[in-house]
A and B are shown apart, each in its own frame.
Chain A
Amino acid sequence: MGKLSDALLHLDKQRVLTIVAEDLQRGRDPLEMIEEAREGLELVGAEFEKGNLFLMELMRAAQIFKSAAEFINPKIRERYEKTGAKGKVLIGTVAGDVHDLGKGIVSSLLECAGYEVIDLGVDVAVDLFLEKIREHRPQVVGMSGLLTTSIPVMKGTAEAISKSGLREEVKLIVGGGIVGEIDPLELGVDYSAKSASEGVRIIEGWIKRK
């Protein structure tokens, strides 16, 4: 394990930023650095899955990663002009629900894993989902919601996506609160995630296969 990923695994922000500053000064390839930081984040994710780390630590790791990326990304752009994201995910909390937490975690983890995330925010109307799918053409659409009343709204949004002819283009995933306990077929979606990290894993799997 590299020292950058090790520092990230230990949630040591100061050490991560020091290593980043030193490595950049030494002229280390920033692309290699961001990949190493991602490895660190993946290790944190693996420890989280095993129950050795907890959600707040996972979120802390994502915060540290983002702080590091703020220094590394401009150098990547300088050297390689533009690097494409691994894939595009559109995400939002469905209409009538203003809960942001779960969606925020998923967005954050996806961004850290190298995906472009179009976050529509909370209380997102069905029409806005449709409009933004047409505009951004994501591979995956994520719908979040904590409330039990969000479940029929998710179903309605999935139906609207189907009716608009966009369903073939996108995989649909839902999550938040009790949503993970609902059969995805009942909601007309491809997957109901029980946790943010499970959702991210499923999305990554889909995009890799595409």
Chain B
Amino acid sequence: MDQEEMKTREKISRYERLEAAWNLEKADRVPVAPILCYIIPYLGRITIREMFFEPEKLIQATVACLDIIGDNIDPNITTLDHLSLLGKSGWDQATLDWRIWDDFPPRGNIPSFFEKPVLEDYDDVIEKGFSTILFNRKLKQIFSRKWDDFLFYEFEFPKEYAQAWSKFVEEYEIPLLMGGRACHPLDLLQYYRGINLLIEDIFERPQKVHEMSEFLLEYEIKRAMEQAVLMGAGRVPGAEVIFFINGGPPGMSPKIFEEFFWPYAKKAIDTFVNCGFKVWCHWDNDLTPHLQKMRTIGDGLPRGKIVLDFEKTEMKKAKEILGDRVCLYGNVPSSLLVYGTVEEVEAYSKKLIQECAEGGGYILGTECEVPWNAKRENVRAMIKAAEKYGKY
């Protein structure tokens, strides 16, 4: 086999390996895909500012981390969201703490949520859109910038960004984890209102929460699909995937899950798939109590279009209940990646493979994402575990 042929074969096998898992089928082995977001700028020694504004530097940093990239790569699409004031619903700009802009490795950490209400009036946003938040002078202006810059980052920069990643995919034969990103309305409401006010709203103003959820969902769906198209859906492997975050606020009761989370989640998934996209549901917290309710996932949709990526949910149960319907992803604990040993990461990964990989339909992954301060050798141990224990 000559070098060119080997390259082609590797390219096919990497993408096909993931494809097989999406399709609940077996390939040569279990795919592995640690989600690497902020660890890449950290290990690649670039600042968050550079990571956001200079895609080439982010790509270089990614190349410096090839040893810990699994079968696909997170193109850090959040960058596009953060820079585009019109692009998304604005939660990133309005609700995150950005002190670490020029401070990496940070004294603090990746941008963190402020738990404070930035949305006072649902009707105001429903009627006038997100300008009421983004241009509210009472709120800290995080991304205030000149009009010239505003237009550049809104319209030109995304194309440069997409081009840089498309080149990376072609050159290194690693498919993208996603092409666009959407956020569940209930998560957005948690960011905008804070958990306390959201709970009050759910119990005292449920109709308003529903109205706002409908508004947000439509917005998120449309923008995520536009983003995926821009990133090369249908042309760049992986860009056809919509990354659908975040699994709702912590501790939803079955009633809240069934009324305020699941209908909107299902509607988004159905819409994405019916429009020709694939959906990677990146859902945090422990959703084990709701697995049975999720059994309707994928009803009426073609197979191979959905991944359920769980953070704290019990993977064994998820496999039992949903394993015949969707591909599962998860969930090596962050604590192990930061504080554990190579042996512990290997043992945990082995256990997950044993519990979830039978018959296909499983991607070995992280609990949310790899923390920026994870030990490099631990992330490598996870990748090696898929090769060692994940053979079909």
Chain A interface (Cβ within 8 Å of chain B)?
A: 11, 13, 51, 53-60, 63, 96-101, 104, 122-123, 146-151, 178, 181-182
**Given A13-B203, A148-B373, A178-B334, are A59 and B196 also a contact pair (CB < 8 Å)?**
yes
Ordered by A's residue number, 11 sampled pairs between the chains whose C-beta atoms are within 8 Å are A54-B289, A56-B249, A59-B199, A98-B113, A100-B116, A101-B115, A147-B108, A148-B335, A149-B106, A149-B108, A178-B333
Contact B108 A56 (CB under 8 A): no
Inter-chain contact B339/A101, CB cutoff 8 Å: no
| 0/1 interface trace, chain B 246-280, chain A, CB 8 Å (1 if under) | 00011111101000000000000000000000000
Which B residues touch A149, using CB under 8 A? 106, 108-109, 371, 373
Given contacts A53-B253, A54-B254, A98-B114, 12 further A-B contacts (CB under 8 A): A54-B289, A55-B250, A55-B251, A56-B253, A63-B200, A98-B115, A100-B116, A148-B109, A148-B338, A149-B109, A150-B109, A182-B335
Contact A101-B195, Cβ < 8 Å, known A13-B203, A56-B253, A178-B334: yes
Q: Are B112 and A98 interface neighbours, CB within 8 A? A: yes
Contact of B196 (CB < 8 Å), options: A57, A97, A104, A150: A104
Determine how close the nearest CB of chain A comes to the CB of B374; give it in whole angstroms. Answer: 8
Whether A96 pairs with B371 at a CB distance below 8 angstroms is no
Q: If A98-B114, A99-B113, A149-B106 touch, does A56 touch B333 (CB 8 Å cutoff)?
A: no
CA distance A54 to B114 in the complex (A): 23
The complex places the Cα of A57 from the Cα of B257 at a distance, in Å, of 12
Find the A residue at minimum CB distance from B110. Answer: A147
* Residues of B close to A181: CB separation below 8 A: 333, 335
Q: Are B251 and A56 in contact (CB under 8 A)?
A: yes
| B107 at interface by CB-CB < 8 Å | yes
Rounded to whole angstroms, the CA-CA distance of A97 and B250 in the bound complex is 19
B interface residues (Cβ-Cβ under 8 A, vs A): 97, 106-110, 112-116, 194-196, 199-200, 202-204, 249-254, 256, 289, 333-335, 338-339, 371, 373
- Name the distance in Å between A54's Cβ and chain B's nearest Cβ: 4
Select A97's contact among B109, B194, B251, B335, beta carbons within 8 Å: B109
How many pairs, one residue from A and one from B, have CB atoms within 8 Å of each other in the complex?
A: 90
Q: Is the Cβ of B113 less than 8 Å from the Cβ of A54? A: no
Contacting pair A54 B253 (CB below 8 A): yes
How far, in Å, is B190 (CB) from chain A's closest CB? 9
Q: Quick one: closest A residue to B335, CB to CB?
A: A178
- How far is B301's CA from A3's CA once the two chains are assembled, in angstroms? 49
Task: Report chain A residues within 8 Å CB of B110.
Answer: 147
Question: Do A57 and B253 touch (CB < 8 A)?
Answer: yes
In whole angstroms, how far apart are the Cα atoms of A100 and B97 in the complex?
Answer: 12
| Alpha-carbon separation in the docked complex, A56 to B333 (Å) | 24
**Distance of A143 Cα from B338 Cα, bound (Å):** 20
Which listed residue, B199, B250, B371, touches A63 by the CB 8 Å rule?
A: B199
Q: For B200, what are the chain A residues with a Cβ–Cβ distance below 8 Å?
A: 63
B250 / chain A contacts, CB cutoff of 8 Å: 55-56, 101
Residues of chain B within 8 A of A59, CB atoms compared = 195-196, 199, 251
Find chain A residues with CB under 8 A from B256 CB: 54, 56
Q: Is the CB–CB distance between B115 and A99 below 8 Å?
A: yes
Q: Are B338's CB and A147's CB within 8 A?
A: no
Check A11 against B335 for contact (C-beta < 8 Å): no
A96 pairs with B109, CB closer than 8 A:
yes
Chain A, Cβ-Cβ closest to B337 = A148
Determine the distance from Cα of A11 to Cα of B256 in the docked complex, in whole angstroms: 14
C-alpha spacing A178/B333, complex, angstroms = 9
Chain A contacts for B106, CB-based, 8 A: 96, 149
A103's nearest neighbour on chain B, judged by CB, is B115
Complex Cα spacing A147 to B108, Å = 9
Given contacts A63-B199, A101-B195, A148-B371, whether A54 and B251 have CB atoms under 8 Å apart is yes
Complex interface: chain A residues within 8 A of B109 (CB): 96-97, 147-150
In the bound complex, do residue A98 and residue B199 qualify as a contact, i.e. CB atoms below 8 Å apart?
A: no
Q: Which residues of B are found within 8 Å of A150, using beta-carbon distances?
A: 109
A57 to B: closest C-beta gap in Å: 5
By beta carbon, the residue of chain B nearest A54 is B253
Question: In the complex, what residues of A have CB within 8 A of residue B252's CB?
Answer: 54, 56
CB closest chain-B residue, reference A186: B339
CB distance from A137 to the nearest CB of B (A): 28
Question: With a CB–CB cut-off of 8 A, which chain A residues contact B112?
Answer: 97-99, 146-147
Complex interface: chain B residues within 8 A of A98 (CB) = 97, 108, 112-115
B115 contacts which chain A residues (CB < 8 A)?
Answer: 98-101, 104, 122
- How far is A59 from B116 in the complex, measured between Cα atoms in Å? 16
Q: Which of B107, B110, B254, B339 has the most CB of A within 10 A?
A: B339
Residues on A with beta carbons closer than 8 Å to the beta carbon of B254: 54
Q: Which residue of B lies closest to A56 (CB)?
A: B251
Shortest Cβ distance from B125 into chain A, in angstroms? 23
Cβ-defined contact, B195 with A58, below 8 A: no
Asked if A96 contacts B251 (CB within 8 A), the reply is no
B371: chain A residues at CB < 8 Å are 147-149
Q: Across the interface, which residues of A come within 8 angstroms of B113, CB to CB?
A: 98-99
CA distance A104 to B256 in the complex (A): 21
Report which of A51, A96, A148 forms a contact with B107, defined as CB distance below 8 A. A96
- Nearest first, the 4 closest Cβ-Cβ pairs linking A and B are A55-B251, A100-B115, A96-B108, A178-B335
Minimum CB–CB distance from A115 to chain B (whole Å) comes to 19
